[in-house]
């Protein structure tokens, strides 16, 4: 018989066991994205970026044809990592750019988290490539988007069939926090949730304002 112990599952993410790659969150790519509206997409991308920064997760930022076609990385991401070098590619599959694989090898973590545009091209490519090379892959579905609902959903299903694990942007933040007693990241996690967590963020504002409530206190 199995025995329960107060330890997290091995497939859960924590700040020390994964890296994040944010791919092609650019204006030209967003113009044709129809599976998620631009306001929600930008909000979720900001939430993911802030979560990674808060928990010091190694993060790779990459664009495609930034100067000649697709435009700059969303400021919601770039402003969170002002010192980070953005790798601009010609390859649609991020994983086929040697600078990306070199950086992944330098970071040396077995779990890879992906978010970006479009799901069916720029996320499927690196997801399947990383899985094939033995990495565990997680895809933040609501920080991705595609030219139609069908395109996004088929891409997600294709990756899931090969072993990728889907999640959401708020789930990513809260999975990293995991315990409200972790005081060193508590305030930033709450602030990010308030700013980008939609109804959950409003609930936090209400509870703190009306009752002085606080998780884990």
pLDDT at 215: 64
120-176 per-position pLDDT tens digit:
999 999 999 999 999 999 999 999 999 999 999 999 999 999 999 999 999 999 999
Average the pLDDT over 172-189 and give the result: 95
- pLDDT at residue 27 above 90? yes
Domain 18-178 falls in which CATH fold?
Rossmann fold (3.40.50)
Closest of 178, 169, 163 to residue 132, by C-alpha: 163
DSSP output for 97-136: SHHHHHHHHHHT-SEEEEEEB-IIIIIHHHHHHHHHTT-E
- pLDDT at residue 217 above 60? no
pLDDT at 216: 58
90-120 per-position pLDDT tens digit:
999 999 999 999 999 999 999 999 999 999 9
pLDDT at 153: 98
Instruction: Specify which residues 117 forms β-bridges with.
Output: 145
pTM to 2 decimal places? 0.94
pLDDT at 177: 97
pLDDT at 145: 98
Closest of 142, 56, 134, 52 to residue 95, by C-alpha: 134
- Residue 161 · residue 47 · CB < 8 Å: no
How is residue 9 written in tokens? 């599952």
Q: Considering the chain, what percentage of its residues have pLDDT values greater than 70?
A: 98
pLDDT at 77: 98
- CATH 3.40.50.850 domain extents, the chain: 18-178
pLDDT at 67: 86
Q: Whose structure tokens read 């988007």?
A: 145
- pLDDT at residue 87 above 80? yes
- Residue 80 · residue 49 · CB < 8 Å: yes
Characterize the bridge pairing of strands 18-23 and 111-116. parallel
Query: What per-residue string of b and e applies to 99-116 under the rule 16 or more CB within 10 Å gives b?
Result: ebbebbeeeebebbbbbb
- pLDDT at residue 205 above 90? no
pLDDT at 18: 98
């Amino acid at each position: 018989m199995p025995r329960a112990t107060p330890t997290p599952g091995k497939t859960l993410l924590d700040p020390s066991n994964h890296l994040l790659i944010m791919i092609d969150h650019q204006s030209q790519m967003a113009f044709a994205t129809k599976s998620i509206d631009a306001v929600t997409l930008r909000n979720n991308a900001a939430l993911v970026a802030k979560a990674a920064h808060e928990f010091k997760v190694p993060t790779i930022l990459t664009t495609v044809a930034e100067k000649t076609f697709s435009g700059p990385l969303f400021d919601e991401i770039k402003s969170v990592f002002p010192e980070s070098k953005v790798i601009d590619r010609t390859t649609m599959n991020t994983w086929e750019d040697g600078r990306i694989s070199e950086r992944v090898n330098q970071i040396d973590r077995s779990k890879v988290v992906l978010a970006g545009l479009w799901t069916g091209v720029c996320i499927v490519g690196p997801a399947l490539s990383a899985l094939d090379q033995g990495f565990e892959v997680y895809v933040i579905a609501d920080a991705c988007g595609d030219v139609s609902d069908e395109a996004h959903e088929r891409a997600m299903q294709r990756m899931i069939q090969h072993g990728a694990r889907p999640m959401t942007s708020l789930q990513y933040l809260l999975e990293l926090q995991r315990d409200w007693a972790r005081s060193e990241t508590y305030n930033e996690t709450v602030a990010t949730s308030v700013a980008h967590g939609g109804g959950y963020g409003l609930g936090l504002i209400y509870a703190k304002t009306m009752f002085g409530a606080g998780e884990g206190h």
